[in-house]
Amino acid sequence: MAKKNRRQSAGKKDSQLVIRINSEERDEFIAVCEQLDTSAARELRKFIRRFLAEYDELDS
């Protein structure tokens, strides 16, 4: 996917990603997100965008 198309669709949330993690890690992650006044979903989306940007260079 081209970088431009990815950015255009980045704001449209029309899909879900289901993952399985340890409940203790999940609870700790949620608690830290709350302390930082953010949401787990927001932080995971940021991680995914950074990850894709990093590996987008490999496609070039």
At 60 the pLDDT is 65
Domain ranges, ordered by start, for the chain? 20-60
Nearest-angstrom CA–CA distance, 60 and 44: 25
30-46 pLDDT, tens digit per residue, is 999 999 999 999 999 99
The count of residues in the chain is: 60
Contact 5, 51 (CB under 8 A): no
Q: What is the mean pLDDT of the chain?
A: 87
DSSP 18-40: -----HHHHHHHHHHHHHTT--H
